[in-house]
A and B are shown apart, each in its own frame.
Chain A
Amino acid sequence: MAALTLRIDGQAVAVPAGSSLLAATRLAGLALPVLCHLDGLTPVGACRLCLVAIEGQSKLQPACTSEALEGQVVATNTAELRELRRMAVELFFAEGNHVCAYCVASGACELQAMAVTLGMDHSRFPYQYPLRDVDASHPLFSLDANRCILCSRCVRVCAELEGAHVWDIAGRGRHCRLVAGLDQPWGEVDACTSCGQCVEACPTGALFHKDDSTAEKHPHPIRALQLRRVHDLPPRPDP
């Protein structure tokens, strides 16, 4: 298999051709913050946290959707990028209704962890306090849209892996929201197989098991590993 080499944060790394910059960064042993990306799903480049600076390009590029190219020189952790990421996380907190103290996912929430990682202890932007719904119509799971960050991981996992396409994003701009079926109560959507993959894919406490209470949502023990195996590992050479 063809390989190519590039420099990421000063470090030379060799990756299989066709790898994303995100995969290359991980192969170099470096971490990049992501929220909308989930291994195994089509990358969309929506959360803008994995933006990196590529030498010779004036625009920042999302590592998840950009292909690693031979000889690239990439910076993933400059002061400018850190500040932009911090502002992005602040915007995430300000646009929804995120109250960690009462949240089912506290302690296992990727948004919360991101805030801690990036040193964001409060938002400098005014909170918007949008009016959003809670949908508890499904027998096993619930959706609390107050905690939704519109990453669309649930949409993609349901459409691409389960093949049910129960979820989609409706509306536009700040009015975007997650809907099931024809904007129906989740429990009334026949397409739902109750597989629970959307709950596993959700980075926050927006989708959760009904019997979980505050700080009781935990990631599936091996799901992430399985997904990464599907997506990231190079295909095995033919025997």
Chain B
Amino acid sequence: MATVGALPRPREPAGELAQGSPVTPGRQLRCCTASGCRAGGAGPLIEALRQAQAVADPAANGLVIKSVGCLRLCSRGPLLAWDGPGGPALFALGSTDPGTAPGAAIGPEQARALVLAAATAPGPDTLAALDLEAWRPQALLPEGSPSPGPSPVGVASAPPPSPGGIGLTWDQMDLDHPFFALQQPLVLLHCGWIDPDSIEEALALGTYGQWRRCRSDLSPEAVRAMVHRSGLRGRGGAGYPTGLKWDTVALQPPGPRFVVCNADEGDPGAFMDRSVLEGDPHRLLEGLAIAAFAVGAESGFLYVRAEYPLAIERLRRALKQAHQKGILGPGTGLELELRVGAGAYVCGEETALLQSIQGQRGQPRPRPPYPAQSGLWGAPTLINNVETLAVVPAILRRGAEWFAAIGTDTSKGTKVFSLSGAVRRTGLVEVPMGTSLRTVVETMGGGVPAAPGSPGGGVKAVQTGGPSGGCIPAHLLDTPVDYESLQALGSAMGSGGMVVVGEAMAMPELARHFMHFSVEESCGKCLPCRAGTVQLEQLLDRLLAGLAEPGELDQLEQLCRMVKATSLCGLGQAAPNPVLSALRHFRAEFLAACRAESPRAAFAREPFPAGPALGPLPGGRP
């Protein structure tokens, strides 16, 4: 697939609305207003640009200014993509004061200059040369300020001398950089191109076309067979074959059944699903509708975590629009409803999620029976993750074989990762399965910058799979990203969070961080997770305080295995994983954190500390 940077112009058959498509006018500014850029002031920025266009000269009238979903390079937000002659091009607005949201600091004159340049620039280079400082509100024009050209992507240009107030930087991002060039968007195909609040734009690019095709041309069996053949596996973490799951639900005895979209993306450091919800909600709705058709469900739910207010707002609007257009809702055989969580990580577990949809405490129950057999109100229920559902329309459109040709033997298609932590370029990347971690973290992400004043730099480990996953040390970075390879290393694909850890971070401390997360998010129903994680955190506390003896590492591992083997749900069973994988790959750090074994302890060592700690011994490690 030919790519023009990260954001290949969508090449899907545009369908019946190809003529006069609102998506490809002559010139437009696409402003990312997803949560990341919104936090950088994208809201006030787009407002300022629209106001500037209203008062600018008529030359600016031809410019379309629209709000779009994630433009990938979140660390540089707010981002603006420009379409025009020689385009597309991507620009980042920055401020000389790291604490100020750049989008909120732009003055009316600066906004006007930007709009005019975007409307008239003969090419991206002209727009890149725009000097926002010259239009700085109530500031003297800095003499001979250098004209900023394209800067290395992701690296802020040196701020110009600041004569007071807040200075703005304006940098062009290099779309040929691997961060963009190596991406292969399937799930995020339209994300960043369309206005998520406009169903017309989604329709113009063919969204809901496959849902229509299902109802007119395809049988549920044919749809399931296609998903089967595509080799698609669940993107929520476990990697269960999606086609198999659909068959299980479809083949239950006749009666009502439900579909549920799990949008309770709770892994810290993961924001892929949020980007789909915020950037292309109609695509998700289409995927969910197709799933409902394939399993014979007439109603469904989208369960979104309350921490994503923008995603909820956009999804609500999308649902309403689809109802108004008669695409979903009465008369179409499918009723979808939005349910909002209330701050419980455990509700990402499917049985807990079903409890929460039914207005209960989000506590998991033992499986079997699986939700596919007995879910919402006892009816067979299909639960799929956002990314899984969002890729289904593409499989139907392009064919199962096309999808199966991407990725590795066991893991097909692409995976969206949210790259964050100590890495230079943070943001969203969608790459084919089987891409190596090194490619993602170093080539695309740029590795870890050296800390000020320290000689070192570089990646120490990559944490994948959140609190259920583990860390992969730097020397194993050539591992291909697929379900089996990551599992073999004691980590997990998880939902796609990739937190890069620099040399400065002590691994026992990271293990304790995740254990603390599990302690706080345990639902409290089963004993090992409720009480065992607390004890594990305290053992790690002792270790970090220099109070633990080397023998206690065995105790730590023993309790980890107990919690893993006996907890009720996936949260508890996976809670020890970050500790176990850190012990496996960085045991030396744990040993170094221990104090020397006391003669008494060596004489009568017990598998667990017998009582509260007394504090560090004289001469012990602080």
Contacts and interface: CB of A to CB of B under 8 A. Distances in A.
Interface in A103-131: 122, 124-128
Interface stretch (A24-32, A86-94, A132-140, A194-202): A86-94
A175 B530 CA distance: 9
A88 to B, nearest CB: 6
Contact of B344 (A51, A87, A125, A172): A172
14 contacts: A66-B368, A67-B368, A84-B566, A88-B527, A88-B566, A91-B528, A91-B535, A92-B527, A95-B534, A126-B611, A150-B530, A171-B524, A172-B522, A173-B521
Interface stretch (B319-327, B439-447, B505-513, B602-610): B602-610
Contact of A44 (B525, B530, B609): B525
B528 A45 contact: no
B566 A94 contact: no
A88 B534 contact: no
Nearest to B559: A87
Contacts of B519: 173-174
Nearest to B567: A48
A211 to B, nearest CB: 32
Given A44-B525, A87-B562, A124-B608, A94 B365 contact: no
B332 interface: no
B151 interface: no
Contacts of B331: none
A18 B568 CA distance: 22
Contacts of B366: 45, 61-62, 65-66
Contacts of B251: none
A206 to B, nearest CB: 15
Contacts, number: 101
A16 B621 CA distance: 62
B524 A84 contact: no
A174 B555 CA distance: 21
Interface in B308-366: 344, 361, 365-366
B523 interface: yes
Interface in B351-396: 361, 365-366, 368
Interface string B241-283: 0000000000000000000000000000000000000000000
A170 to B, nearest CB: 9
A94 to B, nearest CB: 7
Given A91-B535, A94-B535, A171-B524, 18 more contacts: A45-B365, A48-B526, A48-B568, A84-B562, A84-B565, A87-B559, A87-B562, A88-B562, A91-B528, A94-B531, A124-B606, A124-B610, A150-B524, A169-B361, A169-B524, A173-B521, A173-B522, A176-B530
A126 B535 contact: yes
Contacts of A51: 566
B361 A174 contact: no
The 8 closest A-B pairs by CB, nearest first: A124-B608, A176-B524, A173-B522, A95-B531, A91-B531, A45-B366, A65-B366, A173-B524
A126 B538 contact: yes
A69 B612 CA distance: 46
A153 to B, nearest CB: 14
Contacts of A128: 534
Given A45-B568, A84-B562, A126-B538, A174 B606 contact: no
A130 to B, nearest CB: 10
| Chain A contact surface mostly | loop
Contacts of B538: 126
A126 B535 CA distance: 8
Contact of B532 (A47, A59, A91): A91
Contacts of B361: 169
A172 B565 contact: no
B125 interface: no
Contacts of B176: none
B520 interface: yes
Interface string B523-552: 111111011111100100000000000000
Nearest to B528: A48
B528 A88 contact: yes
B527 A46 contact: yes
A123 to B, nearest CB: 8
A91 B529 CA distance: 10
A60 interface: yes
B366 to A, nearest CB: 4
A139 B486 CA distance: 59
Given A150-B530, A172-B523, A173-B523, A126 B609 contact: yes
A124 B534 CA distance: 14
Contacts of B562: 84, 87-88
